[in-house]
Structure 1
């Protein structure tokens, strides 16, 4: 005996289907007459790249998320391939915003290859974490022989003007930097929404803005030279410190507000960038 069953259309229609953003963008460079030029460009979904005109021999690429921000379940992939002896500056159009999640985690990945004797300035503007946001971010950079790097990632916990603190935001940030096949730098930052992370004296100490800068120099001697110059730029009362280990120079900074953090970071970034200046989009 067969029994026909009727689907429960009411139950099906009550389950919301959320629209999620997907974006992929990648750029490749080549050298021509001593300048770095575009060679390849791929864009898909909400991931876009724009190339403003500059007076530098370096190529500047602006990564843009046309979705206007990221939320739970979104997935963005960025990439770049820099030719030997190339100079590429990568920044973002504005601060990336990680909005409230309904449950899923947003994912942002960047995978970059830097050719021999080339230089990359990885200079995205700050990421703003909103209340109840969930973001997992991963940065992988492969440096060939003689290649150098200046990279920053900065995070703001809520918006200063709105008095937000985003105390329940969840965030993970993983860096893997290779020289050839050798891992030369690895770090991971994690916020779980636990109040001790925000208020602990050995952690954020109540600060709402923090950043890490990594500079990979061509040699350990060069890193030591830069360390002295960078430390001379830091205000005595600022929550910023630098250390050198081999070819790596690492700077950590914290501040109460995003503006205060920028004031700490900008002089150091100008000292370390291959272009000798920051992208125009960084200027307030």
Structure 2
């Protein structure tokens, strides 16, 4: 798929606000502009945590497209946000597509931000920016999974550009500043200092909760119970939380590892293992 000469770029927007009242988190404000829309919220775990699915109706982004999402969690609210399918970034003839996400999480609120993977087609130009503002008593669990090239078709990311800027702030204190970029190149994809032939990368982070050394050791043991090769995944402490990195060959394996971390952390926090979201089946 390429940009047609007369095609007008998409300028999609989404505004989403959650509020908590009488034990229930509800969506109290939505505003969308195509190609973004939000499905009806649901409550597989009961009224305390609101599950939402953000849909990109165009199926993917091409050069010049711009998406902007603004998400606000009011005090005490809890939300789980995902997408129904992998995002696709199609090849570009020169323009960059951008995706900006701004998330504000107020006092004692909690968000799980788990979009499905993003597939970067060869020759795509893509820049993602995620900025999270945490109140002192707020927290977030998030992941980001990226595949470079449609590897099932033998495609590699040999041209184009990918950039990801992830920031989590608490007031004036940066808790995570994570800037990554990758120019499309056969040498970089296969270099030991690049992706070492591994087309899939992923980041999982918990921010806003104290994690002990014993907790980290237990999480590492939990990962050993999955099929993820130990040399492809690792955990490290961050300010007020931890980060897990994956570099490997399988979207299925990174999802397996990240979902196990999510379910384990939730079980520690609430005493219950969360169900698999229906859109992931």
1:119 to 110, 113, 118: 110
Instruction: State how many pairs are aligned.
Output: 267
Counterpart among 256, 276, 279 of residue 277 in structure 2: 279
Is the 1:223–1:248 Cα contact (8 Å) retained in structure 2?
Answer: no
Give 2:189's aligned residue. 198
1:60 and 2:51 are equivalent in the alignment: yes
Q: 1:225 and 1:111 mapped to 2: Cα distance?
A: 33
Max radius of gyration: which structure?
A: 1
Paired residue for 2:7? 18
Unaligned runs of 5+ in 1: 1-14
Q: CA deviation at 1:168?
A: 1.9
Q: Equivalent residue of 1:187, what SS?
A: strand
Are 1:153 and 2:144 counterparts?
A: yes
- Aligned CA RMSD, in angstroms, stands at 2.0
Change (3 A) 1:226 1:85: farther
* Deviation, structure 1 residue 211: 0.3
Distance 2:185 2:152 in 1: 24
Separation in 2, partners of 1:127, 1:223: 32
Check conservation: 1:148, 1:215, Cα contact below 8 A.
yes
CA shift, 1:200, in A, is 2.1
SS in 2 for 1:17: coil
- Greater shift, 192-201 or 135-144, is seen at 192-201
SS of residue matched to 2:255: helix
- Paired residue for 2:239, among 242, 246, 250? 246
- 1:280 and 1:104 map into 2 onto residues whose CA distance is 35
Q: In terms of mean alpha carbon deviation, does 222-231 or 267-276 score higher?
A: 267-276
1:106–1:234 CA distance, 2 compared to 1 (3 A)? same
Distance (whole Å) between structure 2 residues aligned to residue 223 and residue 35 of structure 1: 31
Please report how far the alpha carbon of residue 225 of structure 1 lies from its aligned counterpart in structure 2 after TM superposition: 4.5
Pair 165,195 (structure 1): closer, same or farther in 2 beyond 3 Å: closer
TM-score (structure 2 length as normaliser): 0.88
